Structure 1
Amino acid sequence: MIDSRPVMEQYNELLDILERFTQHKMNMDEAIQVTCIIDKLPPPWKDFKHTLKHKKEELTLVELGSHLRIEESLRVQDSDKPKGNNIVGPSVVNMVEHNNSTRHNENKGKRKHHDNTRVDPNKKAKPTCWKCGKTGHIKKD
């Protein structure tokens, strides 16, 4: 197979040739046919070729065709995508605008800074009564 033509096109041509062998009573085991087609894949398909060869179960011609079709479509999609940071074309930015309603929390996500007053970690905080709001006691007292 050559790299300049689609693999599926070449695969179908090989199937036609194998069909002619069968018509002339020259039968070949399907596993051998599959192995021959895998061996004929173009050089850029080297990693995929190794993956197919090392599968635990034997592939049929139909399964091989399915794997080749999927791999070829993935390679076409990858070649259509721009590579690296050299992306040319318009950039798209999604932006959300908030209106000045009272529902929008303006301090959302901002840290609250105090006037450099740090709480002493060894000092106990005085309790605040949840009933009356005074410090120094709680309701049960």
Structure 2
Amino acid sequence: MPEPARSTSALIYEKDNHICRGHILHYLSNSLFDIYYFYKSAKEIWETLRKKYSIKDAGPKKYVVGRFLDYKMSDDKPIMEQVHEYQNIVLEILAEGIVIDDAFQAVTLIEKLSPSWKEYKNYWKHKKRDMSLEDLIVHIRIEESNREKDKNDLAKVNLVNNLSEWVLDIGATRHMYTNRNLFAEYEEVNDGENVFLGDARIAKVVGKGKVVLKLTFGKGLALNAILHVPDMRRNLVSGFLLNKVGLNLAFKSNKLVLSHNGDFVGKGFCHRGLFILDADCENMK
């Protein structure tokens, strides 16, 4: 069905709005441009800027400071949308003549991140080097992009049941196995720990233990502290943890090569967008 034709006045407004919006954005600083780029209406940008930089009295100062102190992010909205909200509040405070150090703005933003970003917050709390607000926002954007990629990868992993394959997941921070029979050592747990799957389900961890994989040419690879998650549809091996214990992971021409101190350890292959380790399990039944 063809799209209904728009009126002449609507077309003229769209053209004028596009030109005016472009002129306003052109003369904004980089930090302001990043915020107001998401506004689609030239009038909305203009009115917001006018309110911020034209009104000067004690009332707005108390109001924006209160908003700054009370603002908290949640997991119900996209993180970058909330980051821009935070930037708006900071700009309102600066417009009132209240000076806030850039490093303080960055540290406060970290504190206001939503609960699911707890590990990320702890990571930055232990960093000695101060980061500017602009650099932190870039880092948060990259982190959010990586998280979305991890969710998509896990969603692919959970499409098909395969209890005997080992999928190498670079983004996973833990090894997670679905097949109880693979564990050489095993202990049941009931501590309430859960994992979030790519299809938005929450899966319970029912046990932890050790699995020994037999790689190419019979070389063994012991994986410890593996989570037993029965609701997973594939076994995930954390590339992050393998690298942490000294294994080098090299990806080339849809193949995976594992090495340690220059010595060949094992290999894998790409299948439907997933890297599968070429391995058997010593305890497989």
TM > 0.5: yes
Query: Which of 85, 93, 97 is residue 13 of structure 1 equivalent to?
Result: 85
Distance 1:86-1:61 versus aligned 2 partners, 3 A rule: closer
CA RMSD of aligned residues (A): 2.2
Match of 1:65 in 2: 137
Q: Offset at 1:77?
A: 0.7
Q: Which runs of 5+ in 1 are unaligned?
A: 93-141
- Structure 2 gaps of 5+ residues are 1-72, 162-270, 273-285
**How does 1:74-89 map onto structure 2 within 5 Å?**
74-82=146-154, 86-88=158-160
Q: Distance in 2 between matches of 1:11 and 1:58?
A: 19
1:35 matched to 2:117? The reply is no
Superposed CA offset, 1:74-117 (max 9, x none): 1111111236964339x75xxxxxxxxxxxxxxxxxxxxxxxxx
Task: Give runs of aligned pairs for residues 34-53 of structure 1, distance below 5 A.
Answer: 34-53=106-125
Higher relative contact order (CA 8 A, sep 6+): 1
The one-letter amino acid of 1:44's match is: S
Cα deviation, residue 28, structure 1: 1.1
Q: Aligned-pair distance for 1:47?
A: 0.7
Q: Give, in whole Å, the separation in 2 of the partners of 1:69 and 1:52.
A: 15
Q: Distance in 1 between matches of 2:158 and 2:82?
A: 34
Gap change, CA 1:31 and 1:85, over 3 Å in 2: closer
- Distance (whole Å) between structure 2 residues aligned to residue 86 and residue 38 of structure 1: 32
One of 128, 139, 156 as aligned partner of 1:56? 128
Find the residue that maps to 1:82 and give its secondary structure.
helix
Give, in whole Å, the separation in 2 of the partners of 1:48 and 1:28: 23
TM-score normalized with structure 2 length = 0.30
- What's the counterpart of residue 23 of structure 1? 95
The number of equivalent residue pairs is: 91
Report the TM-score, using the length of structure 1 for normalisation: 0.58
What amino acid is the match of 1:73?
Answer: S
User: What amino acid maps onto 1:77 in structure 2?
Assistant: K
CA offsets per residue over residues 106-130 of structure 1, 9 Å max, x none? Answer: xxxxxxxxxxxxxxxxxxxxxxxxx
Q: Which has the higher strand share?
A: 2
Closer/same/farther in 2, CA of residues 84 and 20 from structure 1, 3 Å limit: closer
Point out the structure with max Rg over C-alpha: 1
Identity of aligned residues (%): 37
Deviations 1:25-57 (A, max 9, x none): 011111221111100111111111111121121
CA distance in 1: counterparts of 2:84 and 2:156, whole angstroms: 35
Whole-Å separation in 2 of the counterparts to 1:62 and 1:87: 38
- List aligned pairs for 1:113-132, cutoff 5 A: none
Q: How far apart, in 2, do the equivalents of 1:86 and 1:41 lie?
A: 29
Structure 1 stretches of at least 4 aligned residues deviating more than 6 Å after TM superposition? none
- Aligned equivalents of 2:143, 2:157: Cα separation in 1: 25
